[in-house]
Amino acid sequence: MKKIFMLAVVLFGVFSAKAQSEMTLGVKGGLNVTNISNSDLKNKMSFHLGAFAEFRLNDYFAIQPELLYSRQGARDKYEGYKVQYRVNYLNIPILAKFYVLDALSVDLGPELAFALNAKTRYKDGGKTIKNKIKDVNTVAVNFALGLSYNWENFVFSTRYNIGLSNVIDKNKWDGNNKNHVFQLSVGYRFGQLF
């Protein structure tokens, strides 16, 4: 895990040094539709928000690191209660952007995720009950694949994040349990800085 993180930091440093003359910053936010693999849980709708930087290396290729707060998890019914399983992450994707048209790119790359907290939530007689989820892995690795379209200063994106590591220690959960997250985003680019 440390090697993957260090590789991401080194790549970020190399590309930022090479692409400082074409760097743009922006903010983004949007909808998450999330679930956990190998379970009978249902999809949960939530949100993500954060910031990004795009380092444009040429007309066809860019690197885009992001820093996102992402609310993920799933939902279920248990003994008549509607239960939400919520894990809040700080996600750091580093995406390679391949521009297939002037404004349209195919985006893919690794994502490192840090679990900030994890809770179950349900209502009992009008009162909201929250319990901490134990044994959540504090670091997760995902792979992101999506499309982005630039229109003036706005960026519209769709992305699918595939979990490569378990949300909860698989000895505490019945087998593999990985995040699956579909995202729709709208971003705003502040323009070229360098």
Provide the CATH number for the domain around residue 99.
2.40.160.20
* Predicted structure pTM score: 0.84
Q: Which domain holds residue 134?
A: 2-6+25-180
Res 52 pLDDT > 70: yes
Indicate whether 12 belongs to any domain.
no
* pLDDT-derived band at 174, boundaries 50, 70, 90: confident
- Residue 94 CA to residue 143 CA, distance in Å, equals 10
Indicate whether 18 belongs to any domain.
no
What is the mean predicted confidence (pLDDT) over 21-25?
Answer: 84
C-alpha radius of gyration, the chain, whole number: 18
Please provide the DSSP assignment of the chain as one string: -HHHHHHHHHHHHHHHHHTGGGEEEEEEEEEEEEEESSS-PBPEEEEEEEEEEEEE-SSSEEEEEEEEEEEEEEEEEETTEEEEEEEEEEEEEEEEEEESSSSEEEEEEEEEEEEEEEEEEEEETTEEEEEEPPSB-SEEEEEEEEEEEEETTEEEEEEEEEEEEESB-TTTTTS--EEEEEEEEEEEEEEE--
Res 37 pLDDT > 80: yes
* pLDDT-derived band at 80, boundaries 50, 70, 90: confident
Indicate whether 78 belongs to any domain.
yes
Res 20 pLDDT > 80: no
Indicate whether 193 belongs to any domain.
no
Indicate whether 136 belongs to any domain.
yes
* pLDDT-derived band at 19, boundaries 50, 70, 90: very low
Indicate whether 45 belongs to any domain.
yes
Indicate whether 61 belongs to any domain.
yes
CB 133 within 8 Å of CB 168: yes
- How high is the mean pLDDT of the chain? 88
Res 15 pLDDT > 60: no
Res 137 pLDDT > 80: yes
Q: Specify the number of domains making up the chain.
A: 1
Indicate whether 158 belongs to any domain.
yes
Res 41 pLDDT > 80: yes
